[in-house]
Amino acid sequence: MEGQRAVRGRDVVGIFLVALAIGHLALGAYQLIDPGSFFREIGPLGVRNDHYTRDSGTFTVALGVAFAVAVRWPDWRLGVLGYAFFQYVFHSINHLVDINKAHPHRLGPEDFVELAVTAAIIGWLLVRTARERRAARW
């Protein structure tokens, strides 16, 4: 019984938010600091444009900060996760449309799957957060 209470009391959403914050802050920093390397190693689609890569990095860092804020202030969670869910769904669709344009070609399907899985995880966190918020009201 004691072990069940410990598991039940664990902030699962908070744990995932910490991981998402760290991942997004690191990825965004990479985009901002070395956009050429990011293009070669992670995002080899179309023509290289360092300005657009850094623009994307600012959005990625901002989302990482929002995830971090949502760890500390749970009232932010529903909004941050809702935004992130739709962003990842739309990002996944964009990669699906361009799935054969990555170089090397294997990166197209790999990127799509990684984005779609992240969207699914964030969707699960969103539903879990909404249910926890509803349960807290009762």
* Contact (Cβ atoms closer than 8 angstroms) between residue 67 and residue 17: yes
Spatial distance between the Cα atoms of 76 and 87, rounded to a whole number of angstroms: 17
> By CB neighbour count within 10 A (0-12 exposed, 13-18 middle, 19+ buried), where does 106 fall?
exposed
Q: What is the pLDDT of residue 94?
A: 95
Query: Is 2 a residue whose pLDDT tops 60?
Result: no
pLDDT of amino acid 103: 84
Tens of pLDDT, residue by residue over 70-86, are 999 999 999 999 999 99
> pLDDT tens digits for 118-133?
999 999 999 999 999 9
Whole-number pLDDT of residue 42: 87
3-state secondary structure of 1: coil
Q: Which amino acid is at 16?
A: F
40-53: average pLDDT: 90
Q: How far apart are CA 80 and CA 105, in angstroms?
A: 33
